[in-house]
Amino acid sequence: MEPLQSDTAKRYVYLKYVGHIAVMTGKIREAISVEGVRTISDLLSRLDEKHPGFKEVFMPPGGVFNSRTAIICRRLGQPSFAVIDEKQEIEDGDILTFW
């Protein structure tokens, strides 16, 4: 019997955009490969490449999370939680809401 997922399978997170973030990206949701991405900071950098200015909305100069925005993570087998640390690791299949 073959494994359901191979070691070479791509990893994805699923993103939801709410309010002004949806306007900024022009989308309300998307799936993104997270190959080479380990933390929220890495993901914000990747999203900033697709949507210039994205990272600065969540991490203004100085590197402190913006208190007027939020990132909520829904992870299999766990209650949803707010991301409060840019070093928070992300996992394959996470659903992240940006608002």
Q: What pLDDT does 1 receive?
A: 40
| CATH of span 12-98 | 3.10.20.30
Question: Can you list the positions of beta strands (E) in the chain?
Answer: 12-17, 29-33, 71-74, 81-82, 95-98
Enumerate the domain spans of the chain.
12-98
The tens-digit pLDDT sequence of the chain (99 residues) is 444 454 557 899 999 999 999 999 999 999 999 899 999 999 999 999 999 999 999 998 876 788 889 999 999 999 999 999 999 999 999 999 999
Over the Cα atoms of the chain, what is R_g? 14
The pLDDT of residue 2: 43
Residue among 3, 4, 29 at smallest CA distance from 97: 29
pLDDT at 26: 96
pLDDT at 43: 97
